[in-house]
Amino acid sequence: MKHISQKSIALALSLCMFLSMFLWIGQVPAEAGQKAKNVIILIPDGMSVAGTTLARWYQGGTPLAMDEMACGLVRTYSADAPIADSAPAGTAFATGHKSHTGYVGVLPDAANMLGLAPIAKGDEKKPVATILEAAKLAGKATGLVATSEIMHATPAAFSSHFPSRKNYDDLSEQQVYNRIDVVLGAGSKFLSPEGRKDKTDLISIIKNLGYDYVTTPEAMKNSKSDKIWGMFSPTSLSYDMDRNPAEQPSLAEMTAKAIEVLSKDKDGFFLMVEGSKIDWAAHANDPIGVISDILAFDKAVKTALDFAKKNRDTVVIAVTDHGNGGISIGDRATTKTYDEEPLSAFIAPLKKAKLTGEGLESKFNANRSNIKEVMATYFGITDLTEEEIKTIKEAKAGSMNYAVGPIISKRAHIGWTTGGHTGEDVVLYVYAPGSVERPTGVIENTDVARYMEKVLGVSLDEVTKKLFVDAKAAFEVKGAKVEKVDDGNGNFSLVVTKGSTKVELPFNTNIAIVDGKKVEMSGLTVDNGVKTYVPSEAVSLIK
């Protein structure tokens, strides 16, 4: 063996110490190795990779904030179809379970895609815990931000449970009683009695629960409350390019406010942010709407990423739920010239647009006799064909983006294969602090939920067992009588009686009324149209 001098040993030790100090810079000792204090997931609904490429070129070729986070691909199929709807796609992210088209926060009734295990008999449509609910039970603050109605498919999938995304009444009521700390977005129409079949005034209930209910960007900015519910439009928010900053905050501003409030919680937080209308623009084949809201979404990503890098205790995930539109840079007209076309051939026509197709609609007069003038002024198009003029003139209210999107796409050689979702893999973007690992390679959409579960140190399966017990079976084992009761307005309760004890459990709430006395529970009473599920603590109310 060769002799090693003391000088060599000292040099080696010094080098090790230097390398340790170098590697420490910019890192945080992850809590218990693989845990993080906070998780922020940002979902650009329906964002295909060609859309991000187009948005990057549109802003001059400079990188998007999310570019540095790219680390893998995500498979997007649902339990029974290769092309997913937003409801089961959001449910996969939120719960770790693939589901069926239209299903929100519940298991499918069948899982027949390749490689999936069948659903156990009796578990069809059963509610399963979301990562937001698991974080809340772990003592963390929680938040939802979206540019759609807050009870729309993706935000609903993180905060409510029903086998129909269209059931806004039940979904929104569950969201209110799930006691989310910060909710920012749109959809006040569906919280007011006039917009609900059950005539429930959820806005009054929100205020009575102690939220600062805000309706303007200024009020949101000035709020000092630890509980904020912001509704900035009766239905969805405008595309960012069309947005009036005095009336509606940007997605980045809502994200910043949510982080400001949630980060006060010493136990950490979970936040879901959705750029909802990228999907809507892709459905309409409107490239301006796609670019508008991808860039707005990317600013929200930067807001989250800046916070995470500063605090070094936060995982940030950006991932879309599915592709949409089959968008491409290049169309059939460039079949023989694709490698000869300059960048300006694709971008210059888009740069002329001052509004999205949706924003354009208000610029036409009542009989749409000013089509040529409007299209020249706001889209820079002066060579409309008679067929295009006819298409614009006959467009139904609320569908102008479907009329003008293809018109500008044609001039910019932006191709589309469909007006629906597409089934390709999507890009996964993750920032993780310190020794917290990032998922890489090709993963399932359900793995996103399992990753968040891991870094937050919670168990979705255990929370499901705690929050969703088959009420009839559990109460009858105790010798209690169980019945559903309707108050006549479509508001149902589960009424459980045993001896002199009576427990009323209003559907979609976290309330138990025990012999006339109100008790708050940690979870909701959820009826899926087949069975009613209650938190385990509800069962313990019957002795």
147-185 confidence digits (pLDDT tens): 999 999 999 999 999 999 999 999 999 999 999 999 999
What is the C-alpha separation between 359 and 104, in angstroms, rounded? 30
Residue 45 labeled ligand binder: yes
Residue 424 labeled ligand binder: no
* Averaged pLDDT of the chain: 94
What is the C-alpha separation between 278 and 77, in angstroms, rounded? 19
pLDDT tens figures, 78-118: 999 999 999 999 999 999 999 999 999 999 999 999 999 99
Residue 154 labeled ligand binder: yes
Same domain for 455 and 506, yes or no, is: no
pLDDT tens figures, 361-389: 999 999 999 999 999 999 999 999 999 99
Domain range holding 488? 469-539
Same domain for 501 and 535, yes or no, is: yes
Domain assignment of residue 203, yes or no: yes
Same domain for 394 and 455, yes or no, is: no
Do 52 and 64 form a contact (C-beta atoms < 8 A)? yes
- Strand 481-486 relative to strand 212-214, pairing: unpaired
Domain assignment of residue 89, yes or no: yes
Domain assignment of residue 232, yes or no: yes
Q: Could you tell me which of 434, 316, 459, 462 has the C-alpha nearest to residue 32? A: 434
Number of structural domains found in the chain: 3
Name the catalytic one among 78, 86, 236, 238: 86
Residue 486 labeled ligand binder: no
Active site (annotated) includes residue 8 = no
The residue from 407, 434, 466 where one domain ends is 466
Same domain for 439 and 510, yes or no, is: no
The pTM (predicted TM-score) of the whole model is 0.93
Q: What CATH number does residue 299 fall under?
A: 3.40.720.10
Domain assignment of residue 9, yes or no: no
Domain assignment of residue 187, yes or no: yes
Domain assignment of residue 7, yes or no: no
Same domain for 239 and 301, yes or no, is: yes
Domain assignment of residue 498, yes or no: yes
**Window from 43-57, 122-136, 475-489 with minimum mean pLDDT:** 475-489
Domain assignment of residue 14, yes or no: no
CB environment 210-249: b (16+ within 10 A), e (fewer): ebbbbbebeebeebeeebbbbbbbeebbbbbbbbeeeebb
Residue 100 labeled ligand binder: no
